[in-house]
Amino acid sequence: MSLQYVPDVIYDAGHTEGGELIKSLFLKMEALIGGQIIEVILNEQTVKEDLLAWVRMQKHTLLDCKDFGEISYYYIEKR
């Protein structure tokens, strides 16, 4: 995808892993209103599948994912 998204919130999760990432992201998403976008920055590649599964289960929309070496950027729109 080549669209540019302007996030309403930026969450630098760094090396946060598994359940801690999901819990923190849940709380950050809870503060948003529908249609707002959060940019999640991850340095921990092992949680990618957990993050994507959680987004689907919560029925949010993954707008884009960009990988730059060990750092990934996820743009998620709250449902």
pLDDT tens per residue across span 15-71: 998 899 999 999 999 999 999 999 999 998 889 999 999 999 999 999 999 999 999
Q: Where are the domains of the chain?
A: 12-77
> What is the structure's pLDDT at 3?
66
> What is the structure's pLDDT at 1?
44
What class, spelled out in words, does domain 12-77 have in CATH? Answer: alpha beta
Mean pLDDT across 4-19: 94
What are the residue ranges of helices labelled H in 1-79?
Answer: 18-30, 48-57
Q: Determine if the pTM surpasses 0.85.
A: yes
Burial tier of 5 (Cβ tally within 10 Å: 0-12, 13-18, 19+): middle
Q: How far apart are CA 58 and CA 44, in angstroms?
A: 21
